[in-house]
Structures are given as C-alpha cells and as structure tokens.
Amino acid sequence: MESQSVLATTCGELELRWGERTYVMGILNVTPDSFSGDGLADDVKAAVARAKQMASEGADIIDIGGESTRPAAQPVTAEEELRRVIPVIERLASELAVPMSIDTTKSEVALRALEAGARMLNDQWGLKGDPRLAELAAEWKVPIVLMSNQRDKGGYDAALKRDTAEYADPIAEVINSLRGSLAIASQCGVPGENIIIDPGIGFGKSWQHDLEVIRRLGELSELGKPVLLGPSGKSFIGKVLDLPVSERLPGTAAAVAIGIAHGADIVRVHDVKPIVRVCRMSDAVIRRRQIGN
C-alpha cells in the first residue's frame, strides 16, 4: 500500500503523513460556471460558510478555485480570478484552521493567494502553462499538486480548444506527462517532499481513458510521489451510469474507494461528508487503520 517514498508533507499546520490514511480535499468553486453547479462567484459570505461546512464534515484541505476547468470554459483574466478568490481566502485565513489550497494556473494569482493565507498550490497544467508556479512553491516552501493534463498535447494555447486527446496507452501518457512536470519542479528547487501528483481525471481523456487510469492508478507508484485523485462527479461517471451531475455521488464514492485501493493518498471532492466516510471505511480495509484514528 505504500505507493510513494515521501513520508510526510507539511501544509500549513497540517502534517500529511502519507500511507497512514486518505486525506480529503474539499472543492470550493468561486466561479459562475462550475460544471457541478456549485459555483459561488460574488458571494463571499456563502463561500466562507461552505468552506466552514466542509471543514466541519472532515475536509483536511479546502481547494479554492476562481476559474472553471470544465471543457470549453472561457478563460478569465488574472484580475478577475483574483477578484473572486482573494476576499474568500483572506476571510478564511482568519476564521478557519484547515489549510487552504489555491487552484490556479497563474503565478500572479498564486502569489497573491499565498500572501492572503493559502498554503498549497494546485496546478492543472503541471507547470507547463506557467513554470513560475514552481518557483513560488520553492520560495514559499509549500506543497504543489502537479496534474497531468492531456489537453496539452497540441501545446498550451491549442489545448484550450481541445476536449479529448488521442493516444493508445493513457497511463503511459499520464506518467510521461508527470515526469516532465517533475523535472520542471526539480529544476526550480521544489523539495521532493512538497510534490503531489494528480493523473487528471477528465482533462483531455475520454471516459474510457478515465476508467483505465483509475484501474491502473497503482502504476503511478514508480514516480515515488503521493497521489491525488479527483473523480468527483466527472463525466465518466455520467457515461457509465447515464446520470446527471446531481446524481453522481454513488459513482464518485465507488471511484474513490477503488482509487484508494490502488494507491490514492488524497481525494478531491465536492461532497465531503459522505466521502469522508467512504475514506474511513476504505482505510480500515486497505490500510488496516484502526477505528477512531
């Protein structure tokens, strides 16, 4: 079950002790166009309340994003992204003990978020959009999540116009992509213990690719890093179960449990309370974690 060589990572006041249990990252979208319909743009009070709710339900980290990552979403400027996320981060930094992650692809947004109180970076382009994110992670000594994004096969700009990449072996493609991201991080001085990898469920993969990535998640162990898995409500669940986003929680729970069995260390989800229970049950079976720990 020990899928990575890193023993622990510090995120704010939280010590992530890899292999002991599965950590839950709660998704806080402060956008008007989230695919899941939970965007809270322009409502700081509601966003703060939602973050506090997720913390009370057992979230270990709150991941705050101000730009939608759904297919065909329109990019937003750094100024607009900052307008959405910074007031929320500033409020939560003084009112919430749970550490915050900033989900952004822009170094200028990441810097302001770190200054406001965020303690983790989450980059869906794996440093291939803005390598300066790695420099910030190194300078601030914070963890960074590097995601494999198959929308980037034609280059960053062309990728924005793509939905699904074409390739024969999705897990090999993911591993190759992540190796490139790890090389950038290393060159920029990010300590190995501060790097987390994400295979990027969706993001240019077909729904069949997503299923295979989860099925073969254990192969990411060769990279020696903790693994984040984000299957929450994604389209592959809708394809398999023929259900709208609002009814995909059981599919998300199944993907989380199977992902944990294959080496996931963090799961990124919208529905924190039920998924915390799924993680506890999965950990009891897979990690032999004792009840009450």
Q: Where are the domains of the chain?
A: 20-286
- 288 catalytic per annotation: no
Rounded to whole angstroms, the Cα distance separating 58 from 76 reads: 31
Q: Which residues contact 122 (CB under 8 A, 6 or more apart)?
A: 63, 65, 101, 102, 103, 104, 144, 145, 147
Separation of CA 206 from chain center = 19
Catalytic position from the list 151, 234, 288, 289: 234
pLDDT category at 162 given cuts 50, 70, 90 is: very low
* Domain covering 20-286 in this structure, CATH number: 3.20.20.20
CB atoms within 10 A of CB 166: 11
Per-residue pLDDT, 101: 98
Tell whether the model's pLDDT for residue 70 goes beyond 70.
Answer: no
Mean pLDDT of all residues in 117-145: 97
Per-residue pLDDT, 152: 53
**79-118 pLDDT, tens digit each:** 999 999 999 999 999 999 999 999 999 999 999 999 999 9
Mean pLDDT of all residues in 190-209: 94
Q: Which two tokens stand for residue 268?
A: 């990124």
Per-residue pLDDT, 163: 47
Tell whether the model's pLDDT for residue 120 goes beyond 50.
Answer: yes
Per-residue pLDDT, 69: 72
Rounded to whole angstroms, the Cα distance separating 9 from 254 reads: 27
Rounded to whole angstroms, the Cα distance separating 114 from 108 reads: 10
Mean pLDDT of all residues in 202-220: 94
Helices 170-187 and 132-140, axial angle in degrees (round to 10): 60
Catalytic position from the list 268, 273, 277, 287: 268
Rounded to whole angstroms, the Cα distance separating 122 from 197 reads: 10
- 268 catalytic per annotation: yes
Tell whether the model's pLDDT for residue 4 goes beyond 90.
Answer: no
